[in-house]
Structure 1
Amino acid sequence: MSPFPIQEMTLPVALSGSDVIGQAKTGTGKTLGFGLPLLERVTVPADVEAGRAKPEQLTDAPQALVVVPTRELCTQVTNDLLTAGKVRNVRVLAIYGGRAYEPQVEALKKGVDVIVGTPGRLLDLAGQRKLDLSHVRALVLDEADEMLDLGFLPDVEKIINMLPAKRQTMLFSATMPGAVIGLARRYMSQPTHIRATAPDDEGATVANISQHVFRAHSMDKPEMVARILQAEGRGLAMIFCRTKRTAADIAEQLAKRGFASGAVHGDLGQGAREQALRAFRNGKVDVLVCTDVAARGIDVEGVTHVINYQSPEEEKTYLHRIGRTGRAGNKGIAITLVDWDDIPRWQLINKALDLKFPDPVETYSTSPHLFEELNIPAGTKGVLPRGERTRAGLAAEELEDLGETGGRGRKSAAPVATEERPERTRTPRQRRRTRGGSTVEADAPAPVATEPADAPAADTEPRTPRRRRRTRVAPVEAAPVAEAVAAPVAVAEPVAETVVEAEPKPRRTRTRKAVAAVAEAVVEAPVVPAPAEPVAVVEAEPKPRRTRARKVAAPVVEAVVEAPAKPRRRIRKVAESAEVGFLTPESAALEIAAAKAAEATKPVRSRKKAVAAEPDASVAAEPKPRRTRAKKTVEAAPEATEAEPKPRRTRTRKVAAPEA
């Protein structure tokens, strides 16, 4: 077996320890071109046993580092290096995101010779001082142009600054833009630029790949792809899309049409991505729908067809996509479906790569030339016959639990077994159903067994709910009033001194004063007067809220009316006229006395009624409070009458006791 041109030209230079820039077409064996020199620079215990190295040269720190842009490429390079270093027992570890930190940290503690990783996770572990890069002797940047396109250049520069100044650096890629050359000039010492091509291979693409370009409508593309996948001689197939949503949608549609399909894109967790790739390598899935994350370095044997469902962004992406087939000297077929909107983009790619498809032919799923060029049997439909559905499918591949970090991979990760909870030792509190404040007997819970035995027994009688009383006045016992109202008021023995006290009113309310006698008692039981004996006084009943109650003055048999301090305005005029001379002093005095008597007997603007007062009761006028419109209240008493205190800011009235 002869080596590939890139391997034949690179191995002598790389084994001598010089810096190398290797450029070759995809699928021509670049991995072993830098992998074999890398493994030779690593010191392992087998070298000490053979006498090629000293024991003090052995170390558990990594001695070689390979930086790759994608996780899929990281796993593939790791597998290739493990295969090549199996004879010397070289320890190779893959470090990339999407996996748990703990297994990678444990592997670093045990000792590693070669590390293959992505820039993000390498910086994380190095920043935590879990990864020691001070013993690295060789550095390889694989697919360096892709790392620059993904924005990894600052991370790569940080990693390079952590390495020893004296080392070997190698850059390998299918394309070498100017940024990669500038990176090489800064961090490489007199590198050797090697560009290897086969003598019979002209142009940018591989000669073993047969390319077909069709102009297709976006709504007819799923049907076209389903018919292309039934072409004769078709093995494994890869379908590339520009967006993650399109990749997921096409994979789902193909699965409904009967094809064993899987998907690889950024929205899937790392476990699901690796599951799809393992199923594709093992033959359980024969159609892999993916984005450009799988367009770099993925080497799967048996890939015969590559379909560009959507036109790539640039010519480099096109080269890497179609490079998944026709690898290691095998033949392959590359099919590109260009939409009407993608014609200008495709024309730029066609010109850059010097292809022969400037104006693709308009093609549909029923076009005869589609069946002829791709060797599709006549009469093929867009659904795979049931007799040809022989693949196990994606579900047959086990989904590995990687302990993924982040939120995107949680839905695809395998369920993690959780510890069983201990049995409940405490009886849960039962909720008691009540209706109107009383417990419903039918739904009442059974007594809890955890209560102490000496606890008092609960009351079995239903509890009467406490009704909320919206009042502002304190309740007054009604028993004395009821006894007084039950029988008519009779003549009783004289009382030495009876004073009726009114109930204090709440603040800032417009209520009226309590009266000395109960209104209901007066109406239902008429007063029977007796000579020379007073009547029994009944205690006042509390008034309802916001009602207009009337006062009942104590009956007076013989009352001495005391003239008011100030005469009314009409009396003043009579007195003034007497002084002037219109009336004589005798007639004026008589008229003044008559006016006083009439004024005393006349009620003063009051709606309240009066009854006869007790004998020998004197009525005293209460002085008016300041700035109030309250009136006086007369209370019946044998010897003395006490004035009731007025509430603050209320509008009350007074009632004078009439003469008998």
Structure 2
Amino acid sequence: MRQATLTTFRDLGVTPEIADALETEGIVTPFPIQEMALPLALSGQDLIGQARTGTGKTYAFGIAMLQSIGKPRKNRKKPRGLVVVPTRELAVQVSEDLVTAAGKLGSRVLTVYGGRAYEPQIEALKAGVDVIVGTPGRLLDLVKQKHLDLSQVTTLVLDEADRMLDLGFLPDIERIFKLIPAQRQTMLFSATMPGEIVTLSRKYLNRPTHVRAELASDEGETTPQVRQLVWRAHRMDKIEILGRLLQAEGRGLTMVFCETKRACDMVSEQLDTRGFAVAAVHGDLGQGQREQALRAFRNGKIDVLVATDVAARGIDIDDVTHVVNYDCPTDDKTYVHRIGRTGRAGRTGIAVTFVEWEELTRWKMINQMLGLEFAEPEETYSTSPHVYTELNIPQGTKGVLPHANRSRAGLSAEHIEDLGETGRVRGRGGRRRDERDERNERPARTPRQRRRTRGGKELAETAPAETSEAELVDTNPEETPAIFTTDEIQATAGDRRTRTRRGAATTAIEQALADAPEAPVRSTRSRRGAADDAGEPAKRTRRTAAKPEVAADDVTEPARPAMEPTRPAVEPVKDPLARAETAPVTGPFEGDQPSFLTAPPPPVRKEPERIVPASPFTVIFQSPDLATDDDDIAPSAATERKQQRRQSRGGNRRRAG
């Protein structure tokens, strides 16, 4: 391995404009990969660069590309440099680094990727660009729409080439290779170098030089500045361990990696409930929301970023001190890129990995591939003492952030840019605290105005105003008429002042009774009344809808409402002698009987009877047994077949006889 002997970018052959721009940003000393790759790239050779994540691979190819293109020209509209990246976040990161390096050159750098509107990108292409950084899908879309011409590209760079192959971008990359000239400089950079990259380089690169920058240690592919901790944790206890880890002393920005998008939303929502300033980044979010979360994370408005592996490649954010693998990585390359988000540019960091019991086999394979010493992770719970000692967590800390420590502005403080996003509108899985509070503070619902209608019209238009109570008439409850004539009903209806719905129904019933022929009504007389009135003619009473006053020994029907139509019926009488004394009455009342013009008294309302539920152990219905002893048992199919055979044999014998 080559040792670093040069100290500045100027010694590597970098132009003063680019060197001054880097020194302005505080970048003076090149990293090993930059020191080894820049002289070869500046000479125009094809290159394969491999180094750990966070060691400055972007400047290794970016400086050489910008210097070969030179200063922009007015008559040059088509791009001369092309950088293809697998994810949108990485495209933004590479563009920012290239803009920093080309600060004094004035090179025009354009970022194109999906999720944004086409119009701003098309206008920038028409104005002229020098370098394009984009994802394969959007690049091919612009080429298909005749807005992008790659015929004058002289330098092509594939950043994180292994990730592009994992995501299935190999057909798109081959199409891009066919769109650019054959005479070009091609550079491939990645942290890992699988066999697919070697095959691709043999097909499209011209005698490439493989540059691999490693430190003099046996750490494998992992970053030596990162202290790694691997714990075997229970699924239901991981969120509690994470809540206590986030309160460790000296903790800065923290990235939490999950395996699925749904897990990201779940962890983000639970941490938000516990009081942490957190945001989620995954593929189901809109591009504006993803960039909003990353800006808030860089600006310090939130200190916890929960993401899938979409953010594990090339995201360079300062002050990331902790990385937590909430879900065990799928392979060794994923683990390397995840923990590479911390300990960048010579800094130190801590990487904690949670391994569940069913993930032990997967982790042992990762441990063997990387040559680590965590083949048997230590069983860990939120109350384990080594959690507090190894992470420097104060004793007594719980998984909920105290209110006094909630000083971050939160994700809502970061503005969402209107990017003119394409595709369906996507939102975050969980509601944030401020959104839930706004939802709870909704104004009270106004009462609904109900209108009574009849036949599609207002009730007030079809009928007079209703009254809640009917007018009471003083009557003698002992004597009430049972049958009314037509003239009496009309005379009584003319005296009423108001009409109610109950009165209307009563009028219709009275009209029906008036049209029907008169029927004889039996009257009842008690045994006691017969004894008291001995020698006097028996008084007969007509049966009415209202309940008259009777003796305690009389048995009569309960009182019914006046509006309910009743059939003329004979009341049940216990004493047969009283039945004999009853007789039909056809004429009008005699003596001191009241007039037919008196109205019946209002019905007496009774309290509804309480319904007592039956016992659940009571048999409500039992089907009767209709079978008798004389019934024959139904023959089976086998018995019927035997009978048929016997009958057929008997018939044959008769014929033979």
TM-score range, shorter chain: 0.5 to 0.7
Relative to 1, partners in 2 of residues 1:359 and 1:411: Cα closer, same or farther, differing over 3 Å?
closer
Give the corresponding residue for 1:44: 71
Asked if 2 retains the 8 angstrom alpha-carbon contact of 1:235 and 1:303, the reply is yes
Asked if 1 retains the 8 angstrom alpha-carbon contact of 2:255 and 2:304, the reply is yes
Given residue 205 of structure 1, which amino acid in structure 2 is its aligned partner? T
- 1:327 alignment partner, SS class: coil
- 2:323 alignment partner, SS class: strand
Structure 1 CA distance, aligned partners of 2:153 and 2:295? 31
Asked if 2 retains the 8 angstrom alpha-carbon contact of 1:220 and 1:365, the reply is yes
| 1:26 is the counterpart of 2:43 | no
Aligned 1:83-102 pairs, distance under 5 A: 83-102=100-119
Shift of 1:213: 0.3
Shift of 1:199: 2.9
Give the corresponding residue for 1:73: 90
The Cα offsets for residues 310-330 of structure 1, whole Å up to 9 and x where unpaired, read as 000000000000000000000
Shift of 1:203: 1.9
The Cα offsets for residues 359-405 of structure 1, whole Å up to 9 and x where unpaired, read as 00100000001111111110000110111111000000001111111
Q: 1:333 aligns with which of 333, 350, 356?
A: 350
Given residue 25 of structure 1, which amino acid in structure 2 is its aligned partner? R
Asked if 1 retains the 8 angstrom alpha-carbon contact of 2:162 and 2:193, the reply is yes
- 2:29 alignment partner, SS class: coil
Shift of 1:438: 8.8
Shift of 1:435: 6.1
Give the corresponding residue for 2:168: 151
Given residue 360 of structure 1, which amino acid in structure 2 is its aligned partner? P
Q: 1:111 aligns with which of 102, 108, 128?
A: 128
Structure 1 CA distance, aligned partners of 2:428 and 2:376? 44
The Cα offsets for residues 555-583 of structure 1, whole Å up to 9 and x where unpaired, read as xxxxxxxxxxxxxxxxxxxxxxxxxxxxx
Shift of 1:441: 8.1
Asked if 2 retains the 8 angstrom alpha-carbon contact of 1:271 and 1:409, the reply is no
Relative to 1, partners in 2 of residues 1:442 and 1:74: Cα closer, same or farther, differing over 3 Å?
same
The sequence identity of aligned pairs, in percent, is: 64
The Cα offsets for residues 207-238 of structure 1, whole Å up to 9 and x where unpaired, read as 11000000000000000000001011100000
Give the corresponding residue for 1:179: 196
Structure 2 CA distance, aligned partners of 1:66 and 1:298? 16
The Cα offsets for residues 536-569 of structure 1, whole Å up to 9 and x where unpaired, read as xxxxxxxxxxxxxxxxxxxxxxxxxxxxxxxxxx
Shift of 1:410: 6.6
Shift of 1:42: 1.4
Give the corresponding residue for 1:188: 205
Shift of 1:204: 1.5
Asked if 1 retains the 8 angstrom alpha-carbon contact of 2:46 and 2:206, the reply is yes
TM-score normalised by L of structure 1: 0.61
Structure 2 CA distance, aligned partners of 1:359 and 1:379? 28
Number of equivalenced pairs: 415
Give the corresponding residue for 1:305: 322
Structure 2 CA distance, aligned partners of 1:439 and 1:249? 53
Asked if 1 retains the 8 angstrom alpha-carbon contact of 2:284 and 2:427, the reply is no
More helix by share: 2
- 1:320 alignment partner, SS class: helix
Structure 2 CA distance, aligned partners of 1:181 and 1:221? 39
Structure 1 CA distance, aligned partners of 2:305 and 2:455? 68
| 1:284 is the counterpart of 2:301 | yes
Given residue 352 of structure 2, which amino acid in structure 1 is its aligned partner? I
Structure 1 CA distance, aligned partners of 2:238 and 2:107? 48
Give the corresponding residue for 2:233: 216
Given residue 141 of structure 1, which amino acid in structure 2 is its aligned partner? L
Question: What is the CA RMSD across the aligned residues, in angstroms?
Answer: 2.0
TM-score normalised by L of structure 2: 0.61
Asked if 2 retains the 8 angstrom alpha-carbon contact of 1:315 and 1:352, the reply is yes
Shift of 1:72: 0.4
The Cα offsets for residues 474-523 of structure 1, whole Å up to 9 and x where unpaired, read as xxxxxxxxxxxxxxxxxxxxxxxxxxxxxxxxxxxxxxxxxxxxxxxxxx
Structure 2 CA distance, aligned partners of 1:83 and 1:348? 40
- 2:111 alignment partner, SS class: strand
The Cα offsets for residues 459-485 of structure 1, whole Å up to 9 and x where unpaired, read as xxxxxxxxxxxxxxxxxxxxxxxxxxx
Give the corresponding residue for 2:41: 14
- 1:169 alignment partner, SS class: strand
Relative to 1, partners in 2 of residues 1:408 and 1:313: Cα closer, same or farther, differing over 3 Å?
farther
Give the corresponding residue for 1:522: none
Give the corresponding residue for 2:274: 257
Asked if 2 retains the 8 angstrom alpha-carbon contact of 1:201 and 1:207, the reply is no
Structure 1 CA distance, aligned partners of 2:160 and 2:324? 22
| 1:376 is the counterpart of 2:393 | yes
Give the corresponding residue for 2:144: 127
Given residue 143 of structure 1, which amino acid in structure 2 is its aligned partner? E
Asked if 2 retains the 8 angstrom alpha-carbon contact of 1:404 and 1:410, the reply is no
- 2:192 alignment partner, SS class: coil
Shift of 1:409: 2.9
Given residue 334 of structure 1, which amino acid in structure 2 is its aligned partner? A
Give the corresponding residue for 2:511: none
Structure 2 CA distance, aligned partners of 1:438 and 1:67? 70
| 1:197 is the counterpart of 2:214 | yes
Structure 1 CA distance, aligned partners of 2:358 and 2:211? 39
Asked if 2 retains the 8 angstrom alpha-carbon contact of 1:264 and 1:276, the reply is yes
Structure 2 CA distance, aligned partners of 1:105 and 1:269? 21
Structure 1 CA distance, aligned partners of 2:288 and 2:423? 13
Ranges in structure 1 where 5+ consecutive residues have no aligned partner? 49-54, 413-432, 444-660
Q: 1:64 aligns with which of 81, 106, 120?
A: 81
Relative to 1, partners in 2 of residues 1:166 and 1:390: Cα closer, same or farther, differing over 3 Å?
same
Give the corresponding residue for 1:4: 31
Asked if 2 retains the 8 angstrom alpha-carbon contact of 1:270 and 1:409, the reply is no
Relative to 1, partners in 2 of residues 1:434 and 1:222: Cα closer, same or farther, differing over 3 Å?
closer
Asked if 2 retains the 8 angstrom alpha-carbon contact of 1:241 and 1:291, the reply is yes
Asked if 1 retains the 8 angstrom alpha-carbon contact of 2:70 and 2:105, the reply is no
Relative to 1, partners in 2 of residues 1:289 and 1:442: Cα closer, same or farther, differing over 3 Å?
same
The Cα offsets for residues 592-627 of structure 1, whole Å up to 9 and x where unpaired, read as xxxxxxxxxxxxxxxxxxxxxxxxxxxxxxxxxxxx
Structure 2 CA distance, aligned partners of 1:439 and 1:261? 57
The Cα offsets for residues 181-207 of structure 1, whole Å up to 9 and x where unpaired, read as 111111110111101112356421111
Shift of 1:44: 2.5
| 1:137 is the counterpart of 2:146 | no
Structure 2 CA distance, aligned partners of 1:295 and 1:373? 25
- 1:401 alignment partner, SS class: coil
Structure 2 CA distance, aligned partners of 1:7 and 1:22? 10
Asked if 2 retains the 8 angstrom alpha-carbon contact of 1:7 and 1:32, the reply is yes
| 1:270 is the counterpart of 2:270 | no
Give the corresponding residue for 1:245: 262
Shift of 1:408: 4.5
Relative to 1, partners in 2 of residues 1:245 and 1:410: Cα closer, same or farther, differing over 3 Å?
closer
- 2:207 alignment partner, SS class: coil
Shift of 1:407: 1.2
Structure 1 CA distance, aligned partners of 2:304 and 2:229? 19
Structure 1 CA distance, aligned partners of 2:458 and 2:326? 71
Structure 1 CA distance, aligned partners of 2:428 and 2:257? 24
Asked if 2 retains the 8 angstrom alpha-carbon contact of 1:64 and 1:136, the reply is yes
Shift of 1:101: 0.8
Ranges in structure 2 where 5+ consecutive residues have no aligned partner? 1-27, 430-451, 463-657
Give the corresponding residue for 1:450: none
Relative to 1, partners in 2 of residues 1:410 and 1:11: Cα closer, same or farther, differing over 3 Å?
same
